[in-house]
Structure formats: C-alpha cells, structure tokens
Structure 1
Amino acid sequence: MTPDAEFGYELLVCRYAELAWHPSEGPRPALVSRQLGTQRRRWDTVVIEVDPTAFERRRALGDRTIGSDQLHVVRGAPAEWTWYRDALPDPGYPWRYVRQAVHRAAGRDLIEERRDGNRIQIRRKRPYPDWVERIVAVENKPDLDRSAADRLADQLEHDVDAGLADEVWLATETTGERVEPALLREMPVEAGILATDFADGVDADAADVAWHPSDLSPADGERRDPETETLRLEIAERAYGKGWRSFHDTMRPDCRHFELRREGRALVPYCAAKEQVPTARECSGSCSEFSPEPPQWRTKGWPIEGGPGKGLKRVLARRRDRERDRVESVE
C-alpha cells in the first residue's frame, strides 16, 4: 500500500521516475534525486535527463558531487599549465577562496596543480562534459484537497516562471477515480499532472499522465543566462552525488527497529516499533522508540560486517550505483 506519510509517497514517486521516465514521451536516460533546489524553492523530486556518453565522462570524475566552488575550477581548468587567476573567470568573490578550491579539486584528482615560483598553476586532467540535457521538477502531493491545490498552484507557478526547470509536474495519488477536474484547474496550464496508483507497489505502469506539461526550455536560438545555467549545473551535481536513496543520512538505520521494506520494485524505510514509514524527523535519536543496535550485532554472529544498519546503507549504495550503470549504458 502507499505509505501514509508524504515522505513515503515521495520515495515511491522517485522510484517510479527511475523506472519509467519519461512518462508521456518514452524512455529517456535520467538520474533521480529528491529535496533539491535553491534558497527560494526546494523541489520534492528532481529528474536529471542526461546524455549517456557525456554522463560516462562525468562518472570518470568520480562518484561524489562536485560542489559549486570546485565546479568553477574544474570547468575553467585549461588544457595547458596556466596561473589559476589567468585561467579562471572572475568568481565575484576573493581569489583566496578560489585558491582553496583549487587545492581541494587537486586533492580529489579533478585537476592537476603545481607551483611556478610563488604562483599556483593548474591544468585539467579531462574536460568537464556537457552531460545535463534537461532538468525536471516534480512536486508530490498524495492527497490533493482544495487547500493543498491552492498552495501548490502558487509553487508551481513560481517553478514555471523561474526558468530553472525544463518541465514542471505535479504527482498526486488517485482514489480509483479521475483527479478532480476543479482542482486541476487551479494548476498552471504549463505544469504536467501525474496520477499515481501505488496500491500494489511501484512499477513502470503505476502512473498515468492526466495533463501533459509544456516544454519550458529556451526557444531555438535562445539560451538561458550564464547564472541560471550555472545554478542548473550545481543542482544536477547535487543530484548526481546524492540520489534519492540518501534518506539514511538523516535517519537512524543503526536503530534495531529500522528496516527496509519492499513496495513493488521500491525499497522504503520502515519502523517496526511504530509499524509505519517514518519521516526523517521521526526517525532520530530523540525518538522514544529509538534503540541502538547492540554492540554484539556489529562484532559477532551477524553476517553483515558492521551490523545491520551499515548493511542497509550498503544495499542502498549498491542500488544507486546500479542505476548509474544503467543510465550510462543506455544508447
């Protein structure tokens, strides 16, 4: 069944997108993440459509996010040795911070660094690829009542106007009937509507398109401004490093009650003590039911090195890596 918590629904939407993107135009290679955006707006689900060949080159730069400061360095690093201040565009903040980013990027083997007298020179190891094709924002609301529709209409209108995303969607759960037309009329016409049905779990057929979205990409011959393009790439980098299975980073998988349960082709967290899908706020050390794994679970008589909590993290990491491999292999 669909989890009651919006958090649980969000995870199922992420898994659906991973299985079935694009819902109205056929398969596209894409990465899926969650809870990303800007200071003004955070999206529930983010789909990064990628060029598989360029994505392979991005993976050669490592599995971690390249943060905004290092991204400035990696993208601007020249083919030949050059003083870093001549090589990189003016960052708009003191160069000493750029110098620190240069050291960190070199420490991650993203660029090469050397000294020429008292000057730091840099050289790229490989060009940073143009791997991001489109960015799609999805707002998730399983129970779409009148008050929720009013709030979401404003949020989706902002997403459409901001120009960061190429498509904007609302995902909402069906009740066996069509989504209420009066509520859908509250939404901006540019936003797509996904009507989901996760009653039997998640698979590629668990949603129908109730309304097709508009393409918000710039028209032919036009481009977004450089600041927006950079912000889009920063979001894509965070999506690449984080993915959507990183919920364990803000929860307590080391609690004896923490489990992963299958919802069709998805794995979601489950609290055996409360018998529900917990939120990150609920699944914390302050929870009244929190019970740390006994030390012997981590050292003896358990087939997973480090205890079950560590084992669950490895399961989720393997699934993330498997999805990366699948995206890279799409022709």
Structure 2
Amino acid sequence: MYPDHEFGYELLVCRYAELAWHPSEGRRPAIVARQLGTRDRRWDTVVIEVDPEAFALRRAFGDRGLDSDLLHVVRHAPPEWTWYRDALPDPGYPWRYVRQAVHRAAGRGLIEKRRRGNRIECRRLRPYPDWVRRIVAIENKPDLDRSAADALADQLGHDVETALADEVWLATSATGERVEPALLRSMPVEAGVLTTEFAGGIDEDAASVAWHPSDIAPATRDPETITRRLVIAERAYGKGWRSFHETMRPDCHAFELRRAGRGLLPYCTAKKRCQTARECSGSCPEFAPEPPTWRTRGWPIEGGPGKGMTALLARRRERMRDRQVDAQAAGER
C-alpha cells in the first residue's frame, strides 16, 4: 500500500529512518519523531541519534518528555539539599515559574523536594545524562516540482545557516531517471538527498543516497542553542512519530491500520485509501463513531478497536525506545 499524499509519505520516511538510520554510514542508535522544531521552523521528520549508555540513563527519568521548565530544574538540581533559588541558574523569567517547575518535577519523581522553614529545597535523584549525539532534520517532498523545490531550497538554506541540526536532508520519491530531478534543483550543497522507493513497502533497502550531506555542526554552540536542541530531543522522546492517532479518529468505524511492508499506515475504508490527518476528524461526513458498548469491552479489545489501535501504536513506540537500551546491554555482554 502506497499513500498518494505527503502525510502518508512522511509516515513512511519515519518508519524507514527507524529501521535503517544512517542511510550512508551504517546503523546508529536513534529515535524518530515528526513535525517538530522551533517557533520559526518545523521539520517534517526528526532523527535524534543517541548515546545508548546515556539513553539508558535517560529512560530512568520516565517515558514522558521534559519541557524547558522541567529541564531547567532537572539538569541543574544539586546533589545535596539546597534552596532552589541558590541551586538553579537565573532563568531570565520570574522565579515563581521555577518554583512551579520544582513542584512538577518532584510530582513526577524526577527530583526530591522538601520545605525547610519558608523555603523550598530540592536535590537530584540522579544526574541528567548527555544522551543526544546528533540531531538530523529531514524535509519530505515525494513530488518535487519546481515550485516545491524553490520553497524547499529556502527552508533547507535556513537550516544550514542556523545549524540547529547537525545534518539536513531532502527525502523525495525516486523517478528512475539517470539524474534524479532533485539533483538539478538549486538546493544547498550541504543538504543530503535521499531518494525513496516505497511502492513495494517499507524495509531497510527502500531508500538510497543520491547526494551526501555535510556535517553543519559548528565547533561550539551557545547555551541557548544547546537548550533548544535538548527541548527538541525531549519532545521527540516523548512524542515519537506514531502519535497521529492523537489528531485523527481511530474510534471511527472506517479507521484501520494497514501494512506497508514493515510499516503500518492509517487507512479509511469509507474513502478506500490512506486518509490525511486533516481529513480524519469528527467533521468528516463519513465519520461513524464506535458504538458505546464497544468501549466497555475487556480483553483482548480493551475498549474497542480504536483503543486497541492506539495501544498498539503506543507499544511500538515504547519498543523502539527500549531497543536503544537493549542495544547497549547487548554490547556490554
């Protein structure tokens, strides 16, 4: 099954990256997410290459991502009990928000806190690890016509200039021509080009490198950029790329998951094709919610097919995150 829109193509690129990253330099431990970035720039696919040993330590902080306020607390929490305003760097915004973050961090078991007199003290349970090795940004454009190429050239040029990511790529469908059209467009030479052949389904050989990217990481990064990168990595850790069920309606009669090789894609039996995230909503004229009685079922449905599909996607996200830890454990044996 091959989707005919960019949303489905994006999911296939994410699954390929999960199976076979890095496409030119051999397997690297990594987690994959989509539609992440900053206020000024959002990337289609984000690959976070991780240090397996440090990633195993990150797993001890739980399955949810840490926002910027929590990161401020967790990264700087002291080893001994200390008043939080003495322990943490000046955040550049009111301390009351830091105090709220201290309470949230303690509530999630990320740090310890106690009240001593009229002061809130905190201490770390464990050091926050340096688990992110590299961040890779991928723009997905299956059909690269001239207007799309012009827009992408500007976006990829911005990525190269800001160097928030370490490497940037364009992923596009292979045409079979002697010289792929993507190589004839005015793309930044620092950006790699990945040509994909997903019609036969997803596996490790479903893409090839048409142009190798440059490493655009600067020799040093300022603390603000380091924090921005870590926020992106934490969002990728918590969200993953299978979170499309959160913005679609798996509780609809017509919603299914169908195989595309080693991948799973959302499929609408009413439209008889892979639907887009925008189409799959409660306002769709074909939307037919599951009967309430379905949602009260027990094992193996656990609340109906929609709940079952949501649980399946969540389990697959957890399995891929745990695989990075298992790889480290296997290397130690």
User: Is TM-score (shorter-chain normalized) higher than 0.5?
Assistant: yes
Contact 1:145 1:183 in 2 (8 A): no
Aligned to 2:172: 172
Deviation at 1:301, TM superposition (A): 8.8
- 1:265-312 CA deviation, whole Å, 9 max, x = no partner? 000111110011112211000000000001222235984011100000
Question: Which residue is 1:276 aligned to?
Answer: 273
Partner SS, residue 44 of structure 1? strand
Note if contact 2:296-2:303 (Cα within 8 Å) is conserved in structure 1. yes
Q: Which residue of 2 aligns with 1:102?
A: 102
Q: SS at 2:276's partner residue?
A: coil
Deviations 1:82-109 (A, max 9, x none): 0000100110000001000100000000
What is the alpha-carbon distance in structure 2 between the residues aligned to residue 137 and residue 10 of structure 1? 13
Superposed CA deviations along residues 204-239 of structure 1, whole A, max 9, x for unmatched, are 000010000000122xxx310100000000000000
User: Which residue of the partner structure matches residue 155 of structure 1?
Assistant: 155
1:90 is aligned to 2:90: yes
Greater Cα offset, 275-284 or 159-168:
275-284
Q: Deviations over 1:170-194 (max 9, x none)?
A: 0000123345347544100000000
Deviation of 1:320 after TM superposition, in Å, equals 0.7
- Aligned CA RMSD, in angstroms, stands at 1.3
User: Aligned partners of 2:173 and 2:179: how far apart in 1?
Assistant: 8
Distance 1:298 1:89, change over 3 A: same
Whether the 8 Å contact between 1:149 and 1:183 is mirrored in structure 2 is no
Percentage of identical aligned residues: 78
Q: TM-score, normalised by structure 2?
A: 0.96
Runs (4+) of structure 1 exceeding 6 A deviation are: none
Q: Is the 8 A contact 1:146 1:183 kept in 2?
A: no
Q: Is the 8 A contact 2:29 2:51 kept in 1?
A: yes
Aligned partner of 1:213 in structure 2 is 213
User: What is the aligned counterpart of 1:323 among 291, 311, 320?
Assistant: 320
Residues 1:311 and 2:301 aligned together: no
Aligned ranges 1:116-155 → 2 under 5 Å:
116-155=116-155
| Alpha-carbon separation, structure 2, partners of 1:177 and 1:184 | 12
Equivalent residue number for residue 33 of structure 2: 33
Query: For residue 258 of structure 1, what is the aligned residue in structure 2?
Result: 255
Task: Measure the CA separation in 2 of the matches of 1:300 and 1:108.
Answer: 31
Give 3-state SS (helix, strand or coil) of 2:35's partner. Answer: strand
CA contact (8 A) 2:258 2:265 kept: yes
1:9 paired residue number = 9
Per-residue deviation, residues 125-146 of structure 1 (Å, max 9, x unmatched): 0000000000000000000011
One-letter code of the match for 1:257? A
Describe the shift of the 1:100–1:182 C-alpha distance in structure 2 as closer, same or farther (beyond 3 A): closer
Give the corresponding residue for 1:234: 231
Letter in 2 for 1:329: D
Secondary structure of 1:281's aligned partner: coil
Question: Which deviates further from its counterpart, 298-307 or 13-22?
Answer: 298-307
Q: Summarize the Cα distance change of 1:265–1:135 in structure 2 as closer, same or farther, 3 Å threshold.
A: same
In 1, Cα distance between equivalents of 2:221 and 2:161: 13
Matched residue type, 1:167: E
Distance 2:182 2:258 in 1: 36
1:293 aligns with 2:290: yes
Amino acid at match of 1:71: L
Structure 1 residue runs of 5 or longer lacking an equivalent are none
Residues paired across the two proteins, number: 328
70-79 or 173-182: bigger deviation: 173-182
Q: Say if 1:99 and 1:188 are closer, same or farther in 2 by CA, change over 3 A.
A: same
1:239-250 aligned within 5 A:
239-250=236-247
In the superposition, the TM-score normalised over structure 1's length comes to 0.97
Aligned equivalents of 1:280, 1:70: Cα separation in 2: 30
In structure 1, distance between residues paired with 2:12 and 2:145: 20
Q: For the residues of structure 2 that align with 1:149 and 1:183, how far apart are their CA atoms?
A: 10
> What SS class does the counterpart of residue 317 from structure 2 fall into?
helix
C-alpha distance in structure 2 between counterparts of 1:181 and 1:170, whole Å = 12
CA distance in 2 between partners of 1:116 and 1:298 (Å): 48
- On the 8 A contact 1:179/1:195 being kept in 2, the answer is no
